[in-house]
Amino acid sequence: MARAEWGSRLGFVLAAAGSAIGLGAIWKFPYITAQNGGGAFLLIFLLLVFTLGISLMIAEMLVGSVTKKSPVGAYRKLGGRTWSLVGYIGVLCGFLILSFYSVVGGWTIAYIVKSVDGAILTADPKVLSGIFSTFIADPVEPLWYHALFMGVTAGVILAGVQKGIEQVSKYLMIMLFLLILVLIGRAITLPGAIDGVLTFLNPDFSKVNARMVIEAMGLAFFSMSLGMGCMITYGSYASDDTYVPHSAGSVITLTTLICFLSGLMVFPAVFVFGFDPSAGPGLTFITMPAVFSQMGGGQFFGVLFFFLLFVAALTSSVSLMEVVVSFFIDEFNCRRTPTTIVMSILMFVLGIAASLSLGVWNDYKFFGKNFFDILDYVSSNLIMPFGGIMVAVLVGWKSWTLVSERLASKGKHPWWLPLLKWFLRIIAPIMIFVVLLQNL
């Protein structure tokens, strides 16, 4: 079976950027920045993204590009049979993440509906908190939206690499960018909005400490969709004439730009109406609706905001499902359609347990965490850092000769190749291990 390929480099870049730009870029980056000194955190984050982030992005894309296989086959081809276990863990990570991520993706659809009918147009955060808590604890309503979100994700995968993932990613990424610009335009025209912008950009170096740097390392790693096989899978669809470092640099730049623009979108509006931009996850479903309720044309911009979240969630969920589906296509020669349907059903079923654990099953806890939190913790805090360390070791040590030749141009090696080599061999594994210890 001939391996699918991206139709163009732009399609590859936008699909990979869509994978990296998820819900975290929209809500997590602004509130983490607010908690950690604004511009000071921003500077450290940028430094880490263009060292740690781009090194691992290049490594993952190269693994896929060189082998033309999904994670299990790619690790086996480059490292041997033992290394295929790392690939299996990556596929499992994609499966686990999408199971609960689809539940949250469903919330974005629900809040589009609630914005349209005006159910969340109130300036009282306590009321909004009650609405959100009641909604996610409901044993039935979130599941309908979870099913809808999983169905849309599966629909994109069923259409294939070029006609599905690539085409949808192109349109969705353009739409994402335009929506953010529209919302920024509204936010900065509010009276006093410039103070919010200054709060976001002004560096508070008094907050720079080891904990803050570790926080920035974690965000730089996780916000790029690294450590779970997405970039390996997407890299495997790249044509042989695709120069991976250029594509990786474009993806990193686009993702960082969206994170930065999200801060400009959130900070001014939240600041003007006196809310706390470091409110954490509640910033999305509690604080922002309160902001929109006090804004002229707030209902319209509320709908746009939650549609923006839906788009960001969908581009990431598509990459997660493709990791799982491509594994079965490569390893067992399965057909795309039945594989996608079966995997969607299985992930939906696991997601039911995750959703119910926020409500009627909330009393059932393991190590003090409900089922939703366990899925999140194991995949994001343990498996992803493990995957990041392994791909750095694989490329930096085990397969360096092979991948470095792929990076050579007409027999000449680029000047930065020794830096990439030692970053992957030593610096990146140590940095990610520090993040892993912090998570533990």
CA 417 to chain centre: 27
Q: Is the pLDDT of residue 367 over 70?
A: yes
Mean pLDDT of 297-326: 93
Q: Is the pLDDT of residue 410 over 60?
A: no
In a domain, 91, yes or no: yes
Residue type, 99: S
Q: Could you tell me the CATH number of the domain that includes residue 163?
A: 1.20.1740
DSSP labels, 327-349: HHHHHH---HHHHHHHHHHHHHH
Q: Is the pLDDT of residue 281 over 70?
A: no
In a domain, 426, yes or no: yes
Q: Which helix (H) or strand (E) holds 230?
A: helix 230-236
Dist CA 108 CA 117 (whole Å): 14
Q: Which residue has the higher pLDDT, 328 or 37?
A: 328
Task: Copy the structure tokens of residue 172.
Answer: 């969705």
In a domain, 336, yes or no: yes
In a domain, 61, yes or no: yes
Task: Copy the structure tokens of residue 137.
Answer: 């604890």
Average pLDDT score, the chain: 91
pLDDT band at 234 (very low <50, low <70, confident <90, very high): very high
Q: Is the pLDDT of residue 298 over 80?
A: yes
Task: Copy the structure tokens of residue 214.
Answer: 């570790």
User: Residue 129, SS3?
Assistant: helix
Q: Which of 190, 220, 268 is nearest to 34 (CA)?
A: 268
pLDDT band at 409 (very low <50, low <70, confident <90, very high): low
In a domain, 3, yes or no: no
User: What would the pLDDT profile of 39-89 be if each residue is shown by its tens digit?
Assistant: 899 999 999 999 999 999 999 999 999 999 999 999 999 999 999 999 999
What pLDDT shows up at residue 271?
83
User: What would the pLDDT profile of 92-141 be if each residue is shown by its tens digit?
Assistant: 999 999 999 999 999 999 999 999 998 898 888 889 889 999 999 999 99
Dist CA 405 CA 409 (whole Å): 8
pLDDT band at 380 (very low <50, low <70, confident <90, very high): confident
User: What would the pLDDT profile of 314-351 be if each residue is shown by its tens digit?
Assistant: 999 999 999 999 999 999 999 999 999 999 999 999 99
Q: Is the pTM of this model over 0.85?
A: yes
Most confident of 176-185, 222-231, 320-329: 320-329
The boundaries of the domain holding residue 324 are 9-439
How far is the CA of 198 from the CAs of 24, 37, 186, 187, 270, in angstroms? 22, 12, 17, 13, 13
In a domain, 330, yes or no: yes
What pLDDT shows up at residue 294?
84
In a domain, 415, yes or no: yes
Dist CA 247 CA 11 (whole Å): 10
In a domain, 1, yes or no: no
Domain count, the chain: 1
